Structure 1
Amino acid sequence: MDFDTLRRTMIDTQIRTWDVLDPRVLAIVTEVKRELFVPTAYRHLAFADFAMPIAHGEYMWTPKMEARVLQELDLQENHRVLEIGTGTGYLTALLARLAGMVHSIEDRSDLAQQAESHLRVQDIHNAQIHVGDGSAGWDRHAPYDAICITGSLPVLPDIFKEQLAVGGRLLAIVGTGPAMRMRRITRTQQDTYESSDLFETEVPPLRHTPAPRPFVF
């Protein structure tokens, strides 16, 4: 298959139409080979506009959502990034190509091993995969200039915001299906945050996160 042609078509028909126009993001999406991160059985669909199934009932985000999140995070070369939910490592690779260091948390050891292999193939060495529970963040390397949570959350725990550096951005999918929204939170000062909802989506929930308490009259 002509993956380069399919990649260009994906960028023109999916990513650009979602207002992703940052030349750095478009360049990285062009350079990182998405087809090498997807399950072999789905390689012919590597650039399709759908959430691709991977192991354990998990899914890769759509290409346009991956690119939009990269643009919203506004990563710089000196930034330290936290990713919750590594999956195949594709988004990890994109983050690493734009930032200084990425710490990605994956609670499935087999997925973590596969992701590490994918990153080595792409010659990416500024991303570290940690096997563990990231449902309460990862304070070991905090604060972070950017945090990206790939599973949805019914409510966003404050601990994630607290692990942001001042000026840092957090992207999280908040809500319960089908009413979920991609939320961007910026820590403008030590005790001040700005929040905005960017678009609607629906993805599987982040594992280990406690359900919100029911309202009691």
Structure 2
Amino acid sequence: MIDFATQRRIMVDTQVRPSDVTSFDIIEAMLEVPRELFVPDNLRQAAYAGETLEIAKGRYLLEPRTFAKMLEALDIGPDELVLDLAVGLGYSSAVIARLAEAVVAVEADPELAAEAQRILSQTGADNVAVITAEPASGAPRHGPYDAVIIEGGVEEIPAALVDQLKEGGRICAIFMDGEYGECRVGHKRAGVLAWRPVFHAAAPVLAGFERQPEFAL
């Protein structure tokens, strides 16, 4: 039988801590959340691997290093409301729930969303609400949000998500340009996002976050 608790500690010690993730709260949350419960049964043995896993069509469990560094860049506080997009089975939301006051998790697939809510409730993440909607549309009824995180690659950020972010809020995403990727954090100031690069990373581009074609007149 696989000792998942040991694998979880090894993941943190070999993938998270060496990647300049120093937040005790993030490290503790990743040590506590049973990552193996948030993947299909056939992927459980790979749950703690240092790679991004496709857990359903177009849905990804980001590699531990990337996800942890995104959380460190967002610097989520205990009184904040976080919007988590394209959550799949909800692992990211389970971790964020231990950092934030509440999480709104968005998943387009109704079956995935229902299963995510079940697993989150089973693991004690009672401050997460899973909403069935397109991730690129967000969840405007429950905002505005202090922070937004996207569980996959993007080429563009839809304007609808910027509108759902509080003034002074942050959004973290992995911007892809072909095979090259860069994680950036945007701070909303006077209604506009000011971006700064954080680290190199890559993830498949999510539906709804593709670069829109420009039409010349």
TM-score, shorter chain, exceeding 0.5? yes
Counterpart of 1:205 in structure 2 is: 205
Counterpart of 2:119 in structure 1 is: 118
**C-alpha deviation, 1:208, in angstroms:** 3.2
Structure 2 CA distance for aligned equivalents of residues 22 and 175 of structure 1: 26
Counterpart of 1:150 in structure 2 is: 151
Amino acid in the other structure paired with 1:204: P
Amino acid in the other structure paired with 1:45: A
Structure 2 CA distance for aligned equivalents of residues 207 and 51 of structure 1: 17
**C-alpha deviation, 1:160, in angstroms:** 2.1
Map 1:1-217 to 2 at 5 A: 1-187=2-188, 189-191=189-191, 193-209=193-209, 211-214=211-214
Residue deviations 1:9-66 (CA, integer Å, cap 9, x gap): 1111110111111111111111111111122112122211011221224321001112
Amino acid in the other structure paired with 2:60: Y
- Pair 57,148 (structure 1): closer, same or farther in 2 beyond 3 Å: closer
**Structure 2: 5+ residue stretches without partners:** none
**Structure 1: 5+ residue stretches without partners:** none
Amino acid in the other structure paired with 1:50: E
3-state secondary structure, aligned to 2:78 = coil
Cα contact 2:19–2:69 (8 A) shared by 1: yes
Structure 1 CA distance for aligned equivalents of residues 39 and 210 of structure 2: 30
- Pair 43,106 (structure 1): closer, same or farther in 2 beyond 3 Å: same
**C-alpha deviation, 1:90, in angstroms:** 0.3
Cα contact 1:15–1:67 (8 A) shared by 2: yes
Identity of aligned residues (%): 33
Structure 2 CA distance for aligned equivalents of residues 13 and 148 of structure 1: 24
Cα contact 1:14–1:63 (8 A) shared by 2: yes
Runs of 4+ in 1 over 6 A off after TM superposition: none
Cα contact 1:58–1:204 (8 A) shared by 2: no
> What's the Cα RMSD here?
1.9
Structure 1 CA distance for aligned equivalents of residues 178 and 203 of structure 2: 8
Question: How many residues are treated as equivalent by the alignment?
Answer: 216
Cα contact 1:106–1:130 (8 A) shared by 2: yes
Amino acid in the other structure paired with 1:196: R
**C-alpha deviation, 1:212, in angstroms:** 1.9
**Worse-matched range after superposition: 197-206 or 128-137:** 197-206
Structure 2 CA distance for aligned equivalents of residues 90 and 210 of structure 1: 24
Cα contact 1:76–1:98 (8 A) shared by 2: yes
What is the TM-score of this pair, normalised by structure 1?
Answer: 0.91
Amino acid in the other structure paired with 1:18: S
Cα contact 1:174–1:183 (8 A) shared by 2: yes
